[in-house]
DNA sequence: AATCTATATCGTAATATTGCAATATAAAAT
DNA sequence: ATTTTATATTGCAATATTACGATATAGATT
């Protein structure tokens, strides 16, 4: 075992879980927040901002890219990463939706 | 290695990552969505809704509870789980915030 | 009290993730 | 052309996650 049984869930659920999982690590949260902080999308020095070795950061960047949360374009001999807005919007919509539904219930619960 | 270096990141980043990681599995997304769907918080039959064995579901519920995304109260010999609204709100705020910041930038980027 | 029902825990196998040193790659600067 | 700079990839050890059978626990029912 050990492998997630994605085939038993809806595409929606799997896609969402992939996005959330990609953000489910403090280093990757930190990367996103750094990309937010620096006004223009920054080339490179993410490594210097994080308390992790260069290969580790590179790996986290790859995961964020695979999940569709950031994109990177080559800029000379460095690479320019920035946030993929659609992905953030997808998440924003999802939680906004749940929040609305929750406040409509108020509160048949425990 | 294999252990996340949480001590190098801010509490905010770690807390957020914990919440997101907890939702970073389709089964746990499905659990949250099921708790949303059934109007009153449901006792038990989450197991029947999911394509996973009972111990597995129990484990996923525990993780959601540890992350503070759901709470469970004993109801006779079964347990009544429901969504912890504050946690969802925290996430909703976070992404709403990022979205606003992103749309204010429009788009010094790549 | 014995049994049933609902849930949790234990133990364990399969797989995934995290982190880094070493190395590769490729453009830029000398 | 060689070196420097920036990033990616490989290989690997440590740890975590996922899944489930077997078993434990605890309240409800008989």
Interface check for B16 against chain A (CB to CB < 8 A): the answer is: yes
Yes or no, beta carbons of A30 and B13 under 8 Å apart? yes
Helix/strand/coil (H/E/C) assignment for every residue in chain B: CCCCCHHHCCHHHHHHHHHHHHCCCHHHHHHHHHHHHCCCCCECCHHHHCCCCHHHHHHHHHHHHHCCCEEEEEECCEEEEEECHHHHHHHHHHHHHHHHHHHHHCCCCC
Q: Look at residue A1 and tell me whether its pLDDT is greater than 80.
A: no
Largest CA distance in chain B: 58
Closest residue in chain A to residue B107, using alpha carbons only: A40
Chain B contacts of A39, Cβ < 8 Å? 105, 108
Question: By residue range, what is the domain housing residue A73?
Answer: 11-105
User: For residue B67, which phi and psi values (nearest 5 degrees)?
Assistant: -75, -10
The answer to whether position A5 is within a domain reads: no
Closest residue in chain A to residue B14, using alpha carbons only: A26
The answer to whether position A17 is within a domain reads: yes
The answer to whether position B60 is within a domain reads: yes
Yes or no, beta carbons of A82 and B36 under 8 Å apart? no
Q: Any bridge partners for residue B78, and if so which?
A: B75
Count of domains for chain B:
1
CATH number reported for the structural domain that contains residue B51 in this entry: 1.10.10.10
In chain A, % of residues over pLDDT 70:
91
pLDDT in tens, A49-100: 999 999 999 999 999 999 999 998 888 888 889 999 999 999 999 999 999 9
The answer to whether position B50 is within a domain reads: yes
Chain A contacts of B10, Cβ < 8 Å? 26, 30
Q: What is the pLDDT along chain B (110 residues), one digit of tens a residue?
A: 778 989 889 999 999 999 999 999 999 999 999 999 885 566 578 999 999 999 999 999 999 999 999 998 888 888 989 999 999 999 999 999 999 998 887 655 66
C-alpha R_g of chain B: 17
The answer to whether position A90 is within a domain reads: yes
């Amino acid at each position: 075992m050990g492998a997630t049984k994605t085939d038993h869930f809806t595409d929606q659920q799997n896609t969402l879980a992939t996005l959330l999982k990609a953000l489910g690590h403090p280093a990757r949260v930190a990367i996103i927040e750094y990309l937010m902080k620096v006004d223009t999308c920054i080339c490179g020095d993410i490594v210097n901002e994080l308390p992790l070795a260069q290969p580790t950061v590179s790996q986290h960047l790859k995961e964020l890219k695979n999940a569709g949360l950031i994109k990177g374009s080559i800029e000379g001999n460095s690479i320019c990463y920035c946030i993929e807005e659609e992905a953030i919007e997808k998440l924003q919509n999802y939680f906004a939706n749940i929040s609305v539904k929750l406040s409509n219930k108020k509160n048949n619960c425990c």
